[in-house]
Amino acid sequence: MPELPEVETVVCDLRPLLVGRHLGSVRVSKQRLRRPWSKSWAALLDGRRVEAVARQGKWIVLALDETVRLVFHLGMTGQLRVVSAAEPVAKHTHLVIDLDGGQEQLRFRDVRRFGSATVFPDGPALARFLKQSGLGPEPLDLDAATWRQKLGRTDRCLKAVLLDQRVVAGVGNIYADESLFEARLHPARKASGLSAAEVGRLGRAVATVLRRAIERRGSTIRDYVGASGQRGGYQDEFRVYKRTGQSCPRCDTPIEAVRLAGRSTHYCPNCQRRQ
């Protein structure tokens, strides 16, 4: 599933391709995505100018003129690209929007259909939706006091807390494992049991790992590509994720895996000792 670095990469790719352009006719597939498409939305989008492209958590937000918002979630296999209208429409493409005169198109493809495309009439409507969904704060610049507050009030394991989008937005299975390794913290430790120093170390580790992954355009495991069609590169730099049995890059101890919070979790038993 695309996480914060992958979504941020898509947003950065889309921004120069979309800002200032006008949306045209909309074509929607008959297959339903995670959220149903309303027939009234096509008319609401027609002729709108793209004012900005931004990210909120794992959501991609196209801010249009007159306050309208077109919002995408990539789900597990979503791809959002700007391509020539002459390019054949790939299978599993669920939304096609003409740009300007129609020579190029914005296309949303999603093999597993866990993604979504939603139109909100204005920013407040989108803000209410995100609040109702429980979207937590952004992790890149989260202060130490907020981290202490978030972690100190739960006895869940660290892996479960990092995966909870209500606690912090955008972190998924890959970057939770990599961040805990960076912070030298065992993923099964209780969040409330961390010292102040450990909380600070985890907060810095999450931001460091996410920024490092953004610089490398995220991680391509299966379907993910940026809006330019280019794959990510951070998968070549994983230190624990999906490296079970391989040597730890710090100490050569074999990486182990355990199931936590319903997800496969990878860690070094030496560098990330459970106290």
Place of tokens 């913290």: 185
Q: For residue 133, what are the contacts with CB-CB under 8 A and spacing of at least 6?
A: 165
pLDDT of residue 94: 97
pLDDT of residue 105: 97
Q: Please choose, from the candidates 89, 95, 120, 106, the residue with its C-alpha nearest in 3D space to the C-alpha of residue 30.
A: 95
DSSP string, 144-193: HHHHHHHHHT--SBHHHHHH-TTTSSS--HHHHHHHHHHTT--TTSBGGG
pLDDT of residue 143: 93
Q: Class assignment of domain 144-267?
A: mainly alpha
Equal fold, 4-132 vs 144-267: no
Q: For residue 156, what are the contacts with CB-CB under 8 A and spacing of at least 6?
A: 164, 190, 191, 261
- Fold classified for 4-132: N-terminal domain of MutM-like DNA repair proteins (3.20.190)
pLDDT of residue 228: 84
pLDDT of residue 20: 98
Please answer whether residues 62 and 50 qualify as being in contact, where contact means their C-beta atoms are separated by less than 8 angstroms.
yes
Residues 59, 111: Cα–Cα separation, whole Å: 18
Q: Where are the domains of the chain?
A: 4-132, 144-267
Active site residues: 2-3, 58, 263
Give 23's strand partners: 99
pLDDT of residue 1: 74
User: How many CA atoms, within 13 angstroms, populate the side-chain half-sphere of residue 230?
Assistant: 12
User: How many CA atoms, within 13 angstroms, populate the side-chain half-sphere of residue 221?
Assistant: 13
Q: What is the pLDDT along the chain (275 residues), one digit of tens a residue?
A: 799 999 999 999 999 999 999 999 999 999 999 999 999 999 999 999 999 999 999 999 999 998 999 999 999 999 999 999 999 999 999 999 999 989 999 999 999 999 999 999 999 999 999 999 999 999 998 999 999 999 999 999 999 999 999 999 999 999 999 999 999 999 999 999 999 999 999 999 999 999 999 999 999 988 898 988 899 999 999 999 999 999 999 999 999 999 999 999 999 999 999 97
DSSP string, 67-93: G-EEEEE-TTTEEEEEEETTSPPPTTE
Enter the pTM of the model.
0.94
pLDDT of residue 223: 80
pLDDT of residue 16: 97
pLDDT of residue 261: 94
pLDDT of residue 10: 97
